[in-house]
Amino acid sequence: MSDPPARPHPPPSFDPLSDDALRDPHAAHRELRARCPIARSERWGGFWVLSRYEDIVAVTRDHTTYVNSVQNVVPAVTTTGRRPPLHFDPPEHTVWRKAMSGPFKAGALTELEPPARAQTIRLLSPLIERGHCELVSELAGTLPVHVLCRFLHAQDAATPEQIEQLSREFLRAFQDRDSAGLEAASRRLYALAAAILELRRHTPLDPELDVASALLAMRMDGASPSDDLLQGALRQLLVAGHVAVTMMLGSCARHLAEHPALQRQLREDPASIERALDELLRLYTPNQGFCRTVSHEVALHGETIRPREPVVLLYPSANRDETVFEAPDEFRWDRARKHVTFGNGVHKCPGEQLARLELRVFLEELLARTRHFGLAGEVELARWPEYGPRRLPLRFE
C-alpha cells in the first residue's frame, strides 16, 4: 500500500509528553485553545487534537462521522479485544447500552450508598487519627475498587484486593507501553470477567440491579451474544469503573486542601457539597485521551482528516474554555451545568451517577470528620492520558 500524499503544510503541533504539558496540562491546553483550533501530535503514530468546547461537543454529537469502533483512546490499546458498548457504534451500541442501563440508574444505586459510606469511613478514620496520609495509595486508589466490587456483586468471584492488583498491573503496563505486560494483565482481567459471569449463570440476580445478570439476559436478534463480547463488556468496567474516580477523589481533596475557605463553607453547609462537586468535576476532568476516528475524509479548520485517523477530544480543555466558562480556572458556584467531564452524546459515561455517589460520600465524610486538612508535601501528577494526583500527601486536624 502506498503512503498517503504529503500534507501541503505542517499543522500546529502538540506534544502531550512535553515538560510543559506534564507539569501543567491546563496551561498547555490554554495555549492550544488560543493558538489553533486543531493541532497535530506525532506521538503514538500520530493523532489530531481538538481543544475548544464547541468543536468537541460537535464531534460527540456526530457519531456517524466520528466513530468509536476503530479507536477510542490515545495511545491505542491493540491487545485487549473489542469491549461493548464502548467499542461499538449505533445501532449495535444502542442495544448494549440499553441492556446494561438498569444497574447504573440513580434509583438502583440507592442500596449501594450505605456500604460505600461504611467503606469510606473504614479507610478514612485511621488516616485522620494518625494525622497524615498519602491519600492516593491509602484511600483514593482503594475505595473505588471496593465500591465497584460491591456494585458488580463480585465478592464471590474476586476480592477488591484482586481487582485492584490486576488494574494496577494493567495501568502500569499501559502507561509504560509494555505490550507483553498489557496483554498478560488483560488476559487476567478477562478471566475475572468470565468468573463473574459464570457465577451469575448459576445464581442470577435482578438484571435491573446487576450488570452481569443484565448481560446474560440480553438478546441480539433473538440470540445471546458470544462469551467473548459478554466478557469484554464486563472486563471494560473492571478498569474504567474506578480509575477516573481515583483521579477525581485526589483532585477534589487537593483543591479543598488548597482552599481552606471553601472547606469551611462546605462544613457549615453540607447540603452544598453536591453543588460544589459539579464545579470540581468541571475543573478536574480526569481523562485527556479519549478520541474518535473519522469514517470519511473531513475538512476541519483548514486541515484534512483522513479516514480512520484518530481525533483526541481534550475534555479538560473544553471544560476550561474561556468562551463558555468565564474565569474558567476559578471555582464558582453559579455555573450552568455545561461541562463534558462524563463525555457527551451517545457515548456519555454510563457510570456518572455511580461516580457522583462515591465522590459525594467521600467529601461528606472527609469534611465531617476533620476541622481542617492541608497539603503535607509535593503533589505528583499522573501522566497522560489520566489527569489527577498519583501522590497526594495530606495532614489532618
The answer to whether position 179 is within a domain reads yes
Predicted model pTM: 0.93
Within a domain: 313: yes
- pLDDT over 80 (residue 4): no
Model confidence pLDDT, tens digit, residues 296-321 = 999 999 999 999 999 999 999 999 99
* Tally of structural domains, the chain: 1
Residue 388 within any structural domain of the chain:
yes
Residue 3 lies in a domain: no
The more confident residue out of 189 and 53 is: 53
In tens, the pLDDT along 151-191 reads 999 988 888 888 888 877 877 777 677 878 878 888 888 99
Is there a domain that residue 44 lies in? yes
Residue 11 domain-assigned?
Answer: no
Q: Which of 5-14, 80-89, 108-117 has the lowest mean pLDDT?
A: 5-14
Strand partners, 31: none
Q: In this structure, is residue 383 part of a structural domain?
A: yes
Asked, for residue 214, whether it belongs to a domain, the answer is yes
Helices (H), the chain: 19-23, 25-35, 53-61, 92-100, 113-130, 135, 143-151, 160-176, 179-202, 211-217, 227-240, 243-258, 260-268, 273-283, 315-318, 352-368
What angle in degrees, to the nearest 10, is found between the helix axes of 179-202 and 227-240? 110
Dump pLDDT digits (tens) for 142-158. 999 999 999 999 988 88
What range defines the domain where residue 377 resides? 19-396
pLDDT for residue 34: 95
**243 with 140: CB under 8 angstroms?**
no
Mean residue pLDDT of the chain comes to 92
Average pLDDT over residues 12-20: 92
Give the CATH number for residue 334: 1.10.630.10
Using the predicted structure, report yes or no on whether residue 282 has a pLDDT greater than 60: yes
pLDDT in tens, 86-99: 999 999 999 999 99
